[in-house]
Amino acid sequence: MAYTVSNTDGSRTITVADGTFDTTTYSVTLIGKNITNYGDVFVKNSIRHLENFASATAPSVASPLIGQVWYDKTNKVLQFQAQGAASWATGNAVNVARQLPAGGGTQTSALMAGGNPGSTAANELYNGTSWTEVANLNTGRHAHAFAGADNTAAIVFGGYSTAYVAITEIWNGSGWTETADMNTARTVMAGAGTSTAALGTGGSASGTATVANELWNGTNWTEVGNINLARWEIMGTGANNTAAVVFGGQSPGGTYNNTETWNGTAWTEVNNLNAVKSKGAAVGASSTAALMVGGNPGKTVNTESWNGTNWAEVNNLNVGRAELGGAGTTAAGLAFSGEAPGGNTTASEEWNEPSGATQEFDLS
């Protein structure tokens, strides 16, 4: 089975397929499970580390890893890969404009299912270049939640069809299969995790803001520790069902900037968003690295970045909107469709962290 690894802050994630060597992502070769003749590759990786990638030029990979150190043989100094400022750039449009879809995955392997108008069952996949219409949901709906690592394995749950629903469907890369229902039918909740280890948190249960939190183990949903503040139109993300973060949301009492983190047992209130937000998109694959994108009030262009401790305002979307979908990480994210001031939009935008320049260590 393929394995997935992340960098320290969770902003970069890579999946290494069984029986393969990944020689392009980073400056060392990543070794897949069940591959033979890996000894020389392991030794070469060790030598690269020992010599700090000594060369006349910086390590050449498609997306250099921030913080990587290398020895500049020309100038005889240590250099490091510096952080640049990430920003949004226009991507290829989705096929069907919609609001309140379920979506997630990565910037190069994303899925968008359902949404409004019409509680559609339409399903689209993104491959990093274009969106393609594929097999529909069994139950068309909107305001439902998503969990999944990429566009080959995901689940959607809850939402509104002709009524509030608790229906869960699993995506295997080619079709949807209905499976065990949630315990509480609800809409506009936060979803986090994978197709086999997910959370469904908060939301609206028959028009009432709820604190309910359910854990998915790949087979069934179980009610677990509630969030502290009841709200709907809440956003959230996390790598699995033992570590997640939720933020923003709304109830009859107003719109919130509250943030809570989940440790597998209980929720803890932590530092708030800089501005109150609801109906935005969550981008991230970690409870310690996330983006809050767009949302209400005002179908905003605002983006905030979470580092596990604090939120910081970062570069804005090009198209302001609410009720949009999000995927990817804080290093390589994706925002798609949603409701813009002029109506539902097909706009898709990619968030990229530039490689930045290498900088010399100041050892004075």
Per-residue b/e over 74-100, b at no fewer than 16 CB within 10 Å?
eeeebbbbeeeebbbeebbebebbbbb
Which of 50, 81, 112 delimits the end of a domain? Answer: 81
Share of the chain above pLDDT 90, in %: 76
Which of 81, 112, 137 delimits the end of a domain? Answer: 81
Confidence of residue 359 (pLDDT cuts 50, 70, 90): low
Which of 18, 52, 81 delimits the end of a domain? Answer: 81
Question: What is the pTM for the complete model shown?
Answer: 0.80
CA-angle at 234, arms to 283 and 125, nearest 5°: 40
Residue 120 and residue 240 in one domain = yes
In sign, the C-alpha dihedral spanning 236, 239, 244, 245 is negative
The pLDDT of residue 4 is 85
Give one DSSP letter per residue of 136-174, joined into a string: PPSS--BS-EEEEEETTEEEEE--BSSSB---EEEE-SS
Residue 76 and residue 122 in one domain = no
Residue 185 and residue 327 in one domain = yes
**pLDDT tens by residue, 7-23:** 887 777 788 889 999 88
**pLDDT tens by residue, 37-70:** 888 989 998 998 899 888 888 887 766 777 888 8
Residue 16 and residue 119 in one domain = no
Residue 43 and residue 149 in one domain = no
Share of the chain above pLDDT 70, in %: 96
**pLDDT tens by residue, 294-332:** 999 999 999 999 999 999 999 999 999 999 999 999 989
Residue 237 and residue 144 in one domain = yes
Domain region containing 104: 87-352
